């Protein structure tokens, strides 16, 4: 069934609203780089947190999760659920540090933390590395999903889909800067979640209802494990599925290039009004990202197993939009298409804005043209948005698998994650350490994927992390440390604390800045992790009829919530020093 008049009206209204936001905020975004990239550092926690959720909810996300479940089962969601651990690090260790640092981008921290020409070179290298390499891969994954969705609904070719999907997003991102991104994120998230919930309800109803859904799946696929929450062992404690799970939980979350927050999350932390808003906003994001968003997509994917039985040669990415096209009535179908565009535009506009921030703030302004007016830099940012978009469009045209792109991205940046954590808490890390980590990770990742593509994912991940870590640790000890004056200045500004800074603390005159413990952060990190995993798994168990297990997980989450709230209130949500 095609789109009706009401459907087209809803889609058109959404597009007009997005363009309108771009036009309204053009003047304000043009006033300065801080306004264009950080909204003047005035963001409240609820708006920053919602924007974080919207940014990570793209058009590719429900397709990706449907593909995971149709190929293996619920348990394969640990491929992204594992990143809750790094998310909780961001909440309790890094949100306040990033806000204190006062940077526009995470790359800008490089010259704040390190010294010498190597620090400047690293900043420029990272700016291009993220703007052109990492972000191009991420945006290509998002565009690939939108192209598949538009193929299902409109029957357009890949190039045409890419051009249409990019058009409006580039327009309002280029005009309104971060203000347009944040505000459109807010209503785009509401629209995207409304569409996801509506499709989940309708798909489950067509599949026979929620009651007995798991049993019907088991009867169709008696040998499969589609509804398992944890990987099956099949009698082998360390079988392939278990080893992959161990790799996700033991390696992926801390080794990823965004282990200390990542560019898009850091940008929102830095845009908050103060440290308290940064912490609460990031905590809200993690609760919503895992406990709230997961289950509408998972339920729709489980329903697809009944409505569209698994067969060889299928593209599992396609079934989510196919369900939306075939099951949604007129009106709701237009809402669903608009929600796909909303999810796409929320993520794409963020990465377009941040990519241009890296290029302009950390490369063009720093190395090519110093001392120009803010208006000049904003205009260059807009031009950079267009150029980087064209590069992404080409890469997206060449890509084929959403899951494949995602797993390559995890592996590609996996050798750098540890150093991004350690640089905050160990004074001995220097610019050469970080340079060597990035270069070795890139070289080893490409080599492994070119020569050993047959190798299981967990083996690839282990090789990349092991070699890259050995390289950067050796380089840290073989090269000169960062200038002591720079380290003291950085510590006074960020005050991360921990035993790794004792050497520098001895040289700081202010006694209140010495001996800062991170024990409280560790406790809060643990409670936050238990809380969100408890709600995520508890909700899922209840939905699939496992009440006893659901009660266990939810009680664990509630207890962790109470202890966390008590601990944060007693310590002070925005207390800088202990």
User: What are the tens digits of pLDDT across the range 555-574?
Assistant: 999 999 999 999 888 766 55
The arithmetic mean of pLDDT across residues 210-235, rounded, is 89
Given 402, 432, 465, the domain boundary residue is 402
Given 481, 515, 541, the domain boundary residue is 481
Residues 424 and 353 occupy one common structural domain: no
CATH of the domain at 60: 1.20.1730.10
Residues 353 and 448 occupy one common structural domain: no
Residues 72 and 136 occupy one common structural domain: yes
9 CB neighbour count, 10 Å cutoff: 12
Buried b (16+ CB within 10 A) or exposed e, 117-155: ebbbebbbbbbebbbbebbbbbbbbbbbbbbbbbbbbee
Residue 104, in any domain of the structure: no
Residues 392 and 456 occupy one common structural domain: no
Residues 187 and 141 occupy one common structural domain: yes
Residue 572, in any domain of the structure: no
508 torsion bin: left (phi>0), alpha (psi -120 to 50), beta (else): beta
Report the pLDDT value the prediction gives residue 187, as an integer from 0 to 100: 76
Residue 127, in any domain of the structure: yes
Residue with tokens 């350490």: 433
Given 456, 481, 506, the domain boundary residue is 481
Distance of alpha carbon 109 from alpha carbon 106, whole angstroms: 6
Residues 51 and 198 occupy one common structural domain: yes
pLDDT band at 248, cuts 50/70/90? confident
Residues 361 and 447 occupy one common structural domain: no
Stated pTM of the model: 0.84
Range of the domain at 469: 413-481
CA dihedral for 92, 93, 95, 100, sign (positive or negative): positive
Residue 473, in any domain of the structure: yes
The mean predicted confidence, pLDDT, of the chain is 83
Look at 386 and 87; give whichever has higher pLDDT: 87
Residue 314, in any domain of the structure: yes
Residues 306 and 455 occupy one common structural domain: no
Report the pLDDT value the prediction gives residue 214, as an integer from 0 to 100: 93
Angle at 387 between CA 384 and CA 392, to 5 degrees: 120
Quick one: CA torsion of 94, 100, 104, 108, rounded to 10 degrees? -70
Q: How far is CA 560 from the centre of its chain?
A: 24
Distance of alpha carbon 288 from alpha carbon 301, whole angstroms: 19
Beta-sheet strands, E only, within 160-264: none
Residue 87, in any domain of the structure: no
Residue 89, in any domain of the structure: no
Residues 387 and 432 occupy one common structural domain: no
- Tokens of residue 547, six digits: 């009440």
Report the pLDDT value the prediction gives residue 412, as an integer from 0 to 100: 60
Residues 356 and 429 occupy one common structural domain: no
**Nearest CA to 421 among 479, 500, 316, 364?**
500
Residue 474, in any domain of the structure: yes
Residues 437 and 383 occupy one common structural domain: no
pLDDT band at 497, cuts 50/70/90? confident
Least confident of 60-74, 92-106, 276-290, 338-352: 338-352
Q: How many domains does the chain have?
A: 2
């Amino acid at each position: 069934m095609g789109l009706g008049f009401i459907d087209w009206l809803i889609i058109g209204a959404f597009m007009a609203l997005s363009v309108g936001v771009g036009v309204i905020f053009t003047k304000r975004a043009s006033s300065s780089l801080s306004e264009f990239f950080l909204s003047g550092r005035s963001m409240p926690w609820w708006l920053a947190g919602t924007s974080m959720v919207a940014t990570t909810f793209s058009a590719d996300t429900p397709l990706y999760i449907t593909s995971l479940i149709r190929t293996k089962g619920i348990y394969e969601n640990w491929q992204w659920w594992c990143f809750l651990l790094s998310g909780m690090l961001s909440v309790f260790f890094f949100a306040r540090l990033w806000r204190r640092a006062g940077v526009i981008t995470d790359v800008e921290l490089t010259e704040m933390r390190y010294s010498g020409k190597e620090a400047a070179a690293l900043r420029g290298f990272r700016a291009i590395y993220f703007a052109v390499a990492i972000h191009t891969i991420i945006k290509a994954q998002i565009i690939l999903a939108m192209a598949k969705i538009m193929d299902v609904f409109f029957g357009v070719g890949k190039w045409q889909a890419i051009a249409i999907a990019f058009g409006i997003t580039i327009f309002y991102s280029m005009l309104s800067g971060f203000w347009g991104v944040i505000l459109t994120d807010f209503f785009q998230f509401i629209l995207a979640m409304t569409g996801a919930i509506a499709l989940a309800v309708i798909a489950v109803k067509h599949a026979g209802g929620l009651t007995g859904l798991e049993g019907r799946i088991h009867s169709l696929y008696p040998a499969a494990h589609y509804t398992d929450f944890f990987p099956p062992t099949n009698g082998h404690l360390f079988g392939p599925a278990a080893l992959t799970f161990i790799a996700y939980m033991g390696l992926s979350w801390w080794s990823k290039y965004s282990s200390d927050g990542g560019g898009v999350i850091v940008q929102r932390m830095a845009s908050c009004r103060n440290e308290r808003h940064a912490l609460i906003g990031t905590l809200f994001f993690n609760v919503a990202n895992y406990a709230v968003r997961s289950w509408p997509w998972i339920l729709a994917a489980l329903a697809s197993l009944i409505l569209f039985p698994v067969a060889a040669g299928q593209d599992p990415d396609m079934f989510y939009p196919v369900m939306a096209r075939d099951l949604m009535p007129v009106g709701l179908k237009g809402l669903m298409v608009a929600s796909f565009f909303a999810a796409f535009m929320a993520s794409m506009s963020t990465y377009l804005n941040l990519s241009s921030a890296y290029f302009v703030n950390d490369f063009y302004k720093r190395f090519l043209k110093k001392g120009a007016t803010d208006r000049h830099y904003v205009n260059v940012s807009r031009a950079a948005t267009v150029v980087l978009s064209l590069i992404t469009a080409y890469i997206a045209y060449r890509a084929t698998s959403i899951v494949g792109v995602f797993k390559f991205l995890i592996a590609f940046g996996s050798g750098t994650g540890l150093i991004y954590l350690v640089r905050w808490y160990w004074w001995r890390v220097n610019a050469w350490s970080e340079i060597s980590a990035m270069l070795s990770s890139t070289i080893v990742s490409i080599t492994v994927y070119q020569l050993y593509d047959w190798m299981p994912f967990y083996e690839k991940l282990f090789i990349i992390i092991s070699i890259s870590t050995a390289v950067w640790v050796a380089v840290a000890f073989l090269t000169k440390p960062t200038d002591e004056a720079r380290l003291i200045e950085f510590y006074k500004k960020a005050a991360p604390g921990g035993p790794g800074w004792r050497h520098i603390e001895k040289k700081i005159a202010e006694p209140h800045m010495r001996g800062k413990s991170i024990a409280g952060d560790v406790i809060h990190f643990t409670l936050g992790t238990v809380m969100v995993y408890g709600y995520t798994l508890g909700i899922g168990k209840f939905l699939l009829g496992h009440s006893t297990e659901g009660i266990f997980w939810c009680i664990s989450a509630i207890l962790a919530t109470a202890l966390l709230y008590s601990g944060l209130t007693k310590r002070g949500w925005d207390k800088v020093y202990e």
